[in-house]
Every structure is written in structure tokens, then in C-alpha cells.
């Protein structure tokens, strides 16, 4: 049978072909059965998104776990899907409308939502296609969407139940408002930056004369909405003015000076303006003191009617003009530079405006308590463990969650208002009349729910809840969640709360928090910086396998990973090495069908060793995966493939494969096929495509594998059994002897390269020293050492003398001598080395002279001086090495 493996590895063709076949054969599809389940739900990417390297890493890990557990025999479900991404998607479609000169208000709610759905159908699948290209083995027949019918039912059920239990309420509160997006945001959706601003000291005159009180503010425009000035009750500076009335400049509003414990004596002048409608703390002060609310900044970020002459102006423009006027009137006492934290919308980066409005909230304290308990009792584990603290501290300090969004794209809040009797009620199906008074004059709330409200239900809503389905019973709770630290609050914590509330069980046993992907300078990859690496580009250039395996190898556990496109060469080089090695192996397995099973005594030293290495690699790899140590796991496979199998074993058996003794050849073939089989199984979760390609070729040539007993190979490596360490015998003698044997081979190779001899030049070697045991090992495995070290005569014994002209090395306390007689003309080599030493020393002296010249060191550019220093060090090292080589040649 001829081997059809092309000489060059071309991932594109391979990956497309196997991807198609896997999907056709529905290898990733699963349904409940008698096996034990293993379940992962994907963190649903936004439909607006394209795959970025963070997804690349996150989904590689999920696929490794999925493929590995599938091979282990679990009924494995990796449930895929996407998120409707309220604000983000609405923004995209609004931008499209703007191109047509339209707004969403102009087209109306129904038409707008229809257009978003159309956009979703057309573009929303991009990221799913990209995940498929990466090789993600999700059950694509089960793909879900947070706005699909089933999930919408789950959302509605949860809302109504929480409403009925009083855990959802509506109220007027100060919320984080994005004037650009025109919606409220939850506390976690606000990103805070330190900004260099100013602190204005503004004088408020006391009514009826008698001076003024000065207040300090970073946002002068909000003063138009002031309804009081507050001081700390213990502040002696203001004892006399307490209870007096102030007149608000520009507006002329009269307002009291009040005392409140909340006021910090050390901030500004100790007297603070109170703007209840535009500051969350002032809102609370106003509640305590019964102060009125005056809204001066509207939902659009522009000044309202209440702002008098500034009405209609943008808030920042108003600030400029107002400050000018106050200055002209002598009401600005001073201005100080001031660094303070400014909140920004996480979607559009517009400065957040605290805004008073009617919103819906979830009471979090009651829901958080069981989640805290679950983490403390170890029912949900974090990897790395430090993230448990982050999770707990958020839950312990959790505030009520604002869940209403003033958007059109999302789950519309299932709450109605009765205009006849004022009843507010929630309903599972759209009501026709008010349940209290029967009036038909009812209207539904206009807002939609925060996107995270639906994703909080993801682990059970995707399995059929609120129905008690077979899937739900079988696959829930899921086993592990692999996600990003950025959404521990947004998502992980809320899923734990909702899972406990509605299923009585945590949604997953383990949470693996993956590293953050940074650029080569350690900055976060972002669209605005333009420093991202597109996974699709990397797949196009190196292949999906190379991308996946590089990510695993480069990402050290618990650390963020710095990436540049060239770093993916690591995975590409590995794939090439594997390809070439497998090609060599397959060419030598063409006549290896139906080889008889082996007996232990048939095995050569290197066979016993590689089988033991295989067993050990399987054991280490499995343990690493069980502990979510992906980096360690990747390196086990890498070392096994590259060092053990390619560099040593394949080299060691070449003689037998090419040799004249068929019996020896057959043993080598049998062991080789088994080792390659094990490698493909071990590597498959990391590099699914290349392993499938090689698996199929191996299946053609050697369908029966196994060393001592025949094992029929599975039709696809996707469905192959995970290898067991007990499939392969361990051999203590080979394991103990191999390090010495390979060290000795390396020593002889070093000498050869030191002498400038070709790799194929045969040499003699003498090994001597006190360690009789080690010398015995060397004699026993003389054949291996001679073969790989290209040693013609190997002499090993105690007390052997050093030949007159020889090169030497030391291995495990033993001296290794390679006599030079017959290899090189010693006299000529000595002359060559001496001449070379003279020349290099001359250069060294020149560099030293330059560097001892003060004017050069002081005047030349720093990098030139540095280069000269490096040159001096290099030349000095070369002289040392040449001298030592010369000394080896003897007197």
C-alpha cells in the first residue's frame, strides 16, 4: 500500500475536509443515555462580535475539555449559542439606519425590531462559523440564542416569579445613565477612569446679606439643580450659619443650609452642594431631609427647562458658559486642579450621568446569600483559586441590580400598568385586562431587560427550563464553566444565584478563569488601539491546530499571555515536525498490516523505553487535564512527541527499519505504530485536525494496534478511547538507563560539532571513571549509543587512560574521550587554532582599547558603546573556547 501523505503539511485543505466530515457524521451531537454526562455551556458570544484572541484561548480550552472527556467515554455535551447583546446590537442597527438618514424613533418600535432580526439573520452567524473553523466540537444541533422562543419563555417565568415573591420591584432611583445610548446601566456596566479635572470653589450668597458659603464642585453645571447646602453637624466652622437660607446664583432659588453626618469635613470647604437629581449620595441626603428634586440635565445629556438660560445646551457646553458668568460676577473663589474618577459607558465610553428615573430592580441580598454559602462550602470551585475571593467580595457587597434598559432590542419587561385602577402586575402570557379591576385600559412597560438577565439563566434555560425536560435532568448541573475574569460579576455570580434559586443547585461545579490575552507590549488587545491579532488570520497563515496548540503552550498558568503573530510559529513548527515524523513512520509501516502481537522478551532497549515513556506521558497528561493545568498538559504532549518520539525513538529504530533482519523490523514497526497511535490520541484535544488526518492514514496501514494484544482502532480519533497508562508496560531498567545513554550520545555529538566534523563522521569513544554501575549500563546499551552517537568503537571501563590527542566531555562524573588520531591532522588543526586565536585576540585588544578611551565612551551614542561592549564579551568568550579546544589536542 502506498502512503499518500503529501511532503508538505497544508492545514487549510485538511481542516476543511475533516470539519465537514465530523459535522456530516454528527460526531458532536449527543442525547441522554446510560453513560455519565459531562456538560459545558459556552459563554455565548455577542451576535455583533467577531472572534478575537480572547475567544480563541477560551474556546480552545473548552474544546480540549470536551474532546478529552468525550474520549474518556462520557456523554459529552458542549452546548453552543449566542447572546442578543442588547445595547451593542441596537447600536449597530441604529448606525445602519443613520446611513439611510433614519432614526429608530422615525421607523417605530415594531419596524426597528424587525430590522434587528433581519440584521441578526444576515450577520449574526459570523462568530459561529468562526468557532467551527477553530474546530470547536460543540453540539451544533443544539445551538441556542438568548432571544429565541424557549429562552424568552424562561426569562418571562423568572421575571414573574421574582416579581410575585417581591424580589423584583420598581422604583424611582438614581441610576447610571448613558446619554448616548439613552439607557440605564447597572453599576457593573460603568467603567471608571481617573481623569484630570478641576475643582471650582463657588460662593453662594446668604439671603439678606451677611456673607456667603463657599462650596467646591467638580461639576459646576449641576449647581443649577441644587436644593440645599449641607455641612457636617460637628463642623464648628458653620455652626453660626446652620439653618440660614442661601440664594442659588444664576437661578435665584432659595435653599436651606442643613446638617448631615454624611458630609466629609475634609473635602473642599466642608460645605457641599446638594443636587438630589444628579448625584446618588445627594439623592440619599434629599430623602433624609425631604428636599425637592430638580432635574436640570435630561436623558439626552442636554440641559432641561429648569436650567433657565442654559436650557437646550449640552451639559459640557453649559459648564463652560456658566463658569464664565460666575467668574464675571465674582462668585468663583478659586479653581484647583483635581484628579477624580469618572464613570463611562462600557459600550460607547460616553461619560455616565447619574439620572433619576423609574426603573426595575432585583433585590440581590436574598439571592446572594445562598451563592456565598455555595462558594464557602466548596460546591463551586474556582481555578485559579484566587478568583473565589473576587467572586465572594462582590456578592458580600452586592447592591440591587437595575435590570430595566430603555432599549427596544431585548426581552420586553412582562409588566403592565392599569390606567383605570393603577395596578402594576406581571404576567406569563400577554393579558387582555387588568386582573384587579377588569379594565382593558392596560399598557405594557416600554423597557427591555438587561441582556445579562437572560444570560444568567443560560445553564438551565438552554436545556429546556421551565419545562422539566430529560435534558435538564440529565445534563444539569453542568461540570465546568470556562470564562473570562471580566464577567465574574456580570455573569458567573448571577448564574450561580439564579441556578440556586430556580434549580436548587449550583449551575457548575468548577469555574476556570482563563488568562487575559495581551499584545507583545503587555497592553490589552482592543479595537480602539488596533493591536489585536485576528484568530482567522492566524488560522489562515498557520492553521487552526497551530493556533490552538500555540495558545496552550504560550499561556502559563495563572498569568496573562503576551502575543505577537510570530509567536504562533511555535505551533506551526510543531505541526510540521509531527507531519514529517509521521510521514517517515507511515512510509515504514506500509508492510505492517497484521503483524503478530509481541511478547515482552521481543522488545529492544529503546522499545522498552518508549513504551514506558508513553505510559508516563498518558499519566501526566491526564492528571494535568483533571486539574485544569492546560499549559502543563500541552507541554507533556509536546515533549513526548518532539523529544521522546521524534528525536530519540525514531532515530533509534532507523537501523532496524532499514536493516536486514525482518524479525527486528517487525518489532520496531509494532512499537512504532502503538506509540504513534497513543500520540494521536493524546494530542487530539489540542490539535484535532492534524491528528484526524494522521489517524486515518494510520488506520489504512495498521488498523489493529496494541503491543501485546490487538486493539482495533476506532473509525475516527474523535471517537477514539482516551489512552490508559496501563496499556503500555513500564520498564524500570530502560527508564533508569536511558538518561545516561542519551547524555553520552549528546556528549559525542558535541565533540563532533566542536571539531567541525560532519554529523555522519564516525568516531571512537572511551568512557572511564569510578562509577562501575554506570559503566556497566553503558556497556549493556553499547548498541544504542554506538548507533545514535555514530561511534565505531566504544570502550567503557574503570581506570582507562586519556589518549595523547583527544577531545573530551564529562557525563555523570565519567570522562568521555574521543581520540583525534585519524580524524583530523592534529598538527594542522593546532596551527589553524593558533592562527585563529591570534586573530580573535587582535580584535579583542582593539575593542578593549576603544572602550578604555574615555572620549569614545563619553561621546559616542549609547547604543554604539553598548554594541562595542557586547563585541568585547563575545570575542573574549571565543578566545576562551578556542584555547580550550587547543588544549584538548595535547602537547
Of the residues 1, 421, 529, 873, which one makes contact with Zn ion according to CB under 5 A: 421
* Residue range at the interface with Zn ion (CB under 5 A); choices 66-74, 405-413, 426-434, 599-607: 426-434
Q: Does 98 bind Zn ion (CB under 5 A)?
A: no
Least Å from the CB of residue 345 to Zn ion? 3
> Which of 106, 424 has the CB closer to Zn ion?
424
Angle at 331 between CA 328 and CA 335, to 5 degrees: 95
Q: In degrees to the nearest 10, what's the CA dihedral of 462, 465, 470, 473?
A: 90
Contacts of 385 (CB under 8 A, 6+ apart): none
Of the residues 434, 511, 554, 774, which one makes contact with Zn ion according to CB under 5 A: 434
Of the residues 180, 340, 503, 754, which one makes contact with Zn ion according to CB under 5 A: 180
* Residue range at the interface with Zn ion (CB under 5 A); choices 244-252, 414-422, 501-509, 789-797: 414-422
Q: How many angstroms separate the CA atoms of 446 and 414, rounded?
A: 10
* Residue range at the interface with Zn ion (CB under 5 A); choices 378-386, 418-426, 680-688, 765-773: 418-426
- Picking from 318, 282, 315, the residue whose alpha carbon sits closest to that of residue 297 is 315
> Which of 94, 606 has the CB closer to Zn ion?
94
CB 555 within 8 A of CB 561: yes
Q: How many angstroms separate the CA atoms of 579 and 582, rounded?
A: 5
What is the per-residue binding string for Zn ion in 472-501, x denoting contact by CB under 5 A?
------------------------------
Q: How many angstroms separate the CA atoms of 678 and 672, rounded?
A: 10
> Which of 46, 62 has the CB closer to Zn ion?
46
579 sits in which H/E element? helix 569-587
Q: How big is the chain, counted in residues?
A: 891
* Residue range at the interface with Zn ion (CB under 5 A); choices 177-185, 275-283, 662-670, 677-685: 177-185
Least Å from the CB of residue 441 to Zn ion? 8
> Which of 90, 227 has the CB closer to Zn ion?
90
Residue 220 DSSP SS3: helix
Least Å from the CB of residue 109 to Zn ion? 20
* Residues in 290-349 that interact with Zn ion by CB under 5 A: 345, 347-348
Q: How many angstroms separate the CA atoms of 80 and 59, rounded?
A: 11
Cis before 466? omega within 30: yes
Q: Does 437 bind Zn ion (CB under 5 A)?
A: yes
58 sits in which H/E element? helix 53-71
> Which of 181, 755 has the CB closer to Zn ion?
181
Q: Does 436 bind Zn ion (CB under 5 A)?
A: yes
> Which of 152, 350 has the CB closer to Zn ion?
350
Least Å from the CB of residue 219 to Zn ion? 19
Question: Environment class of residue 33 by beta-carbon count within 10 Å: exposed (0-12), middle (13-18) or buried (19+)?
Answer: exposed
Least Å from the CB of residue 419 to Zn ion? 8
DSSP annotation of 799: T
> Which of 347, 572 has the CB closer to Zn ion?
347
CB 37 within 8 A of CB 474: yes
* Residue range at the interface with Zn ion (CB under 5 A); choices 64-72, 162-170, 434-442, 445-453: 434-442
> Which of 198, 406 has the CB closer to Zn ion?
406
Least Å from the CB of residue 316 to Zn ion? 16
* Residues in 632-671 that interact with Zn ion by CB under 5 A: none
Q: How many angstroms separate the CA atoms of 188 and 347, rounded?
A: 12
Q: Does 715 bind Zn ion (CB under 5 A)?
A: no
> Which of 436, 599 has the CB closer to Zn ion?
436
**What sign results for the dihedral spanned by CA atoms 753, 756, 761, 765?**
negative
Least Å from the CB of residue 238 to Zn ion? 39
* Residue range at the interface with Zn ion (CB under 5 A); choices 71-79, 413-421, 524-532, 644-652: 413-421
Cell 566534523, residue? 757
Contacts of 852 (CB under 8 A, 6+ apart): none
Least Å from the CB of residue 383 to Zn ion? 34
* Residue range at the interface with Zn ion (CB under 5 A); choices 430-438, 502-510, 637-645, 860-868: 430-438
Residue 359 DSSP SS3: strand
Question: Which residues pair with residue 712 across a beta bridge?
Answer: 704
Least Å from the CB of residue 407 to Zn ion? 11
Cell 532496524, residue? 656
Q: Does 582 bind Zn ion (CB under 5 A)?
A: no
Question: Environment class of residue 863 by beta-carbon count within 10 Å: exposed (0-12), middle (13-18) or buried (19+)?
Answer: exposed
CB 263 within 8 A of CB 231: yes
- Picking from 432, 429, 433, the residue whose alpha carbon sits closest to that of residue 420 is 433
Least Å from the CB of residue 116 to Zn ion? 17
Q: How many angstroms separate the CA atoms of 728 and 615, rounded?
A: 5
> Which of 106, 437 has the CB closer to Zn ion?
437
Q: Does 284 bind Zn ion (CB under 5 A)?
A: no
> Which of 190, 265 has the CB closer to Zn ion?
190
> Which of 423, 848 has the CB closer to Zn ion?
423
- Picking from 352, 345, 251, 245, the residue whose alpha carbon sits closest to that of residue 296 is 251
* Residue range at the interface with Zn ion (CB under 5 A); choices 58-66, 77-85, 419-427, 502-510: 419-427
Least Å from the CB of residue 352 to Zn ion? 8
Q: How many angstroms separate the CA atoms of 756 and 145, rounded?
A: 65
> Which of 441, 792 has the CB closer to Zn ion?
441
* Residue range at the interface with Zn ion (CB under 5 A); choices 150-158, 433-441, 588-596, 637-645: 433-441
Q: Does 423 bind Zn ion (CB under 5 A)?
A: yes
613 sits in which H/E element? helix 605-626
Least Å from the CB of residue 427 to Zn ion? 13
> Which of 526, 798 has the CB closer to Zn ion?
526
Q: How many angstroms separate the CA atoms of 468 and 154, rounded?
A: 12
Q: Does 184 bind Zn ion (CB under 5 A)?
A: no
Q: Does 245 bind Zn ion (CB under 5 A)?
A: no
Q: Does 181 bind Zn ion (CB under 5 A)?
A: yes
Least Å from the CB of residue 349 to Zn ion? 7
- Compute the chain's Rg from CA coordinates: 37
Contacts of 756 (CB under 8 A, 6+ apart): none
* Residue range at the interface with Zn ion (CB under 5 A); choices 214-222, 436-444, 589-597, 848-856: 436-444
Q: How many angstroms separate the CA atoms of 157 and 464, rounded?
A: 12
Least Å from the CB of residue 278 to Zn ion? 18
CB 441 within 8 A of CB 419: yes
Angle at 727 between CA 722 and CA 728, to 5 degrees: 120
The residue count for binding Zn ion (CB under 5 A) is 15
Least Å from the CB of residue 434 to Zn ion? 3
> Which of 421, 710 has the CB closer to Zn ion?
421
* Residues in 344-383 that interact with Zn ion by CB under 5 A: 345, 347-348, 350
Least Å from the CB of residue 367 to Zn ion? 27
Q: How many angstroms separate the CA atoms of 535 and 526, rounded?
A: 14
Least Å from the CB of residue 163 to Zn ion? 17
Q: Does 178 bind Zn ion (CB under 5 A)?
A: yes
Residue 511 falls in which region: left (phi positive, over 0), alpha (psi -120 to 50) or beta: beta
Return the C-alpha cell found at 346.
462600557
CB 86 within 8 A of CB 452: no
Residues of this chain that interact with Zn ion (CB under 5 A) are: 178, 180-181, 345, 347-348, 350, 418, 420-421, 423, 434, 436-437, 439
Amino acid at each position: 500500500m502506498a502512503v499518500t501523505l503529501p511532503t508538505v503539511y497544508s492545514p487549510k485543505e485538511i481542516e476543511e475536509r475533516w470539519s465537514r466530515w465530523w459535522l456530516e457524521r454528527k460526531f458532536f451531537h449527543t442525547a441522554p443515555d446510560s453513560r455519565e454526562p459531562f456538560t459545558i455551556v459556552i459563554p455565548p458570544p455577542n451576535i455583533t462580535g467577531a472572534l478575537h484572541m480572547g475567544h480563541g484561548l477560551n474556546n480552545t480550552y473548552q474544546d480540549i475539555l470536551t474532546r478529552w472527556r468525550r474520549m474518556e467515554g462520557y456523554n459529552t455535551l458542549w452546548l453552543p449559542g449566542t447572546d442578543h447583546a442588547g445595547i451593542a446590537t441596537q447600536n449597530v442597527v441604529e448606525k445602519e439606519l443613520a446611513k439611510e438618514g433614519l432614526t429608530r424613533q422615525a421607523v417605530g418600535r415594531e419596524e426597528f425590531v424587525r430590522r434587528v432580526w433581519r440584521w441578526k439573520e444576515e450577520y449574526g452567524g459570523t462568530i459561529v462559523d468562526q468557532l467551527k473553523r477553530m474546530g470547536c466540537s460543540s453540539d451544533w444541533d443544539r445551538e441556542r440564542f438568548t432571544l429565541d422562543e424557549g429562552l424568552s419563555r424562561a426569562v418571562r417565568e423568572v421575571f414573574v416569579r421574582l416579581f410575585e415573591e417581591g424580589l423584583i420591584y420598581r422604583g424611582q432611583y438614581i441610576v447610571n445613565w448613558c446619554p448616548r445610548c439613552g439607557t440605564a446601566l447597572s453599576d457593573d456596566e460603568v467603567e471608571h477612569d481617573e481623569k484630570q479635572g478641576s475643582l471650582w470653589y463657588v460662593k453662594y450668597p446668604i439671603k439678606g446679606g451677611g456673607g456667603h458659603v463657599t462650596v467646591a464642585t467638580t461639576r459646576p453645571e449641576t449647581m443649577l439643580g441644587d436644593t440645599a447646602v449641607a455641612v457636617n453637624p460637628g463642623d464648628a466652622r458653620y455652626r453660626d450659619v446652620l439653618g440660614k437660607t442661601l440664594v442659588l446664583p444664576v437661578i435665584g432659588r432659595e435653599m436651606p443650609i442643613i446638617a448631615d453626618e454624611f458630609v466629609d469635613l475634609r473635602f473642599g470647604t466642608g460645605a457641599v452642594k446638594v443636587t438630589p437629581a444628579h448625584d446618588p449620595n445627594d439623592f440619599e441626603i434629599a430623602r433624609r431631609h425631604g428636599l425637592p428634586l430638580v432635574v436640570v440635565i435630561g436623558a439626552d445629556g442636554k440641559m432641561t427647562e429648569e436650567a433657565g438660560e442654559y436650557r437646550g445646551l449640552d451639559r459640557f457646553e453649559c459648564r463652560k458658559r456658566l463658569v464664565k458668568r460666575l467668574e464675571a460676577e465674582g462668585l468663583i473663589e478659586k479653581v484647583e486642579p483635581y484628579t477624580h474618577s469618572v464613570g463611562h459607558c462600557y459600550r460607547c465610553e460616553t461619560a455616565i450621568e447619574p439620572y433619576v428615573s423609574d426603573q426595575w430592580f432585583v433585590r440581590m441580598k436574598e439571592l446572594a446569600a445562598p451563592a456565598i454559602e455555595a462558594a464557602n462550602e466548596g460546591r463551586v470551585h474556582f481555578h485559579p483559586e484566587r478568583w473565589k475571593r473576587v467572586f465572594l467580595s462582590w456578592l458580600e457587597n452586592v447592591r440591587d441590580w437595575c435590570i430595566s434598559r430603555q432599549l427596544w432590542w431585548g426581552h420586553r419587561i412582562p409588566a403592565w400598568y392599569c390606567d383605570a385602577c393603577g395596578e402594576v402586575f406581571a404576567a406569563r402570557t400577554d393579558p387582555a385586562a387588568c386582573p384587579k379591576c377588569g379594565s382593558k385600559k392596560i399598557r405594557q412597560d416600554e423597557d427591555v431587560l438587561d441582556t445579562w438577565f437572560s444570560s444568567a439563566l443560560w445553564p438551565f434555560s438552554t436545556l429546556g427550563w421551565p419545562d422539566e425536560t430529560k435534558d435538564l435532568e440529565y445534563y444539569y448541573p453542568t461540570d465546568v464553566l470556562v470564562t473570562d475574569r471580566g464577567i465574574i460579576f456580570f455573569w458567573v455570580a448571577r448564574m450561580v444565584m439564579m441556578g440556586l434559586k430556580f434549580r436548587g443547585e449550583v449551575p457548575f461545579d468548577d469555574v476556570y478563569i482563563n488568562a487575559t490575552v495581551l499584545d507583545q507590549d503587555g497592553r490589552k488587545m482592543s479595537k480602539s488601539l488596533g493591536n489585536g491579532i485576528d484568530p482567522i488570520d492566524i488560522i489562515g497563515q498557520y492553521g487552526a491546530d497551530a493556533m490552538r496548540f500555540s495558545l496552550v503552550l504560550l499561556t502559563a498558568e495563572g498569568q496573562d499571555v503576551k502575543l505577537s503573530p510570530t509567536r504562533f510559529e511555535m505551533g506551526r513548527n510543531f505541526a510540521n515536525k509531527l507531519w514529517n515524523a509521521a510521514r517517515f513512520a507511515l512510509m515504514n509501516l506500509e508492510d505492517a498490516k497484521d503483524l503478530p502481537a509481541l511478547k515482552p522478551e521481543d522488545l529492544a532497549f529503546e522499545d522498552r523505553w518508549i513504551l514506558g515513556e508513553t505510559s508516563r506521558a498518558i499519566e501526566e497528561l491526564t492528571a494535568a487535564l483533571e486539574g485544569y493545568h492546560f499549559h502543563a498538559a500541552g507541554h507533556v504532549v509536546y515533549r513526548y512527541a518532539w523529544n521522546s518520539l521524534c528525536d530519540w525513538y525514531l532515530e533509534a529504530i532507523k537501523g532496524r527499519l532499514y536493516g536486514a533482519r525482518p524479525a527486528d523490523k517487525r518489532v520496531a514497526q509494532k512499537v512504532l505504530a502503538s506509540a504513534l497511535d497513543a500520540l494521536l490520541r493524546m494530542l487530539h484535544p489540542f490539535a484535532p485536525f492534524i491528528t484526524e488526518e494522521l489517524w486515518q492514514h494510520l488506520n489504512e496501514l495498521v488498523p489493529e494496534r496494541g503491543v501485546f494484544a490487538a486493539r482495533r482502532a476506532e473509525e475516527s480519533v474523535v471517537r477514539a478511547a482516551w489512552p490508559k497508562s496501563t496499556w503500555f508496560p513500564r520498564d524500570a531498567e530502560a527508564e533508569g538507563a536511558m538518561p545516561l545513554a542519551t547524555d553520552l550520545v549528546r556528549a559525542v555529538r558535541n565533540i563532533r560539532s566542536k571539531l567541525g566534523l560532519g554529523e555522519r563522521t564516525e568516531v571512537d569513544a572511551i568512557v572511564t571513571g569510578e562509577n562501575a554501575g554506570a559503566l556497566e549500563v553503558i556497556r549493556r546499551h553499547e548498541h544504542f549509543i554506538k548507533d545514535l552517537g555514530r561511534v565505531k568503537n566504544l570502550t567503557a571501563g574503570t581506570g582507562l587512560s586519556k589518549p595523547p590527542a583527544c577531545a573530551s566531555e564529562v557525563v555523570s562524573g565519567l570522562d568521555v574521550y574521543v581520540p583525534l588520531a585519524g580524524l583530523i591532522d592534529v598538527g594542522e588543526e593546532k596551527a589553524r587554532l593558533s592562527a585563529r586565536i591570534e586573530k580573535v585576540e587582535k580584535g579583542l585588544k582593539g575593542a578593549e582599547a576603544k572602550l578604555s578611551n574615555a572620549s569614545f565612551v563619553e561621546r559616542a551614542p549609547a547604543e554604539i558603546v553598548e554594541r562595542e561592549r557586547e563585541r568585547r564579551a563575545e570575542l573574549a568568550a571565543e578566545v576562551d573556547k578556542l584555547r580550550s579546544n587547543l588544549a584538548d589536542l595535547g602537547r
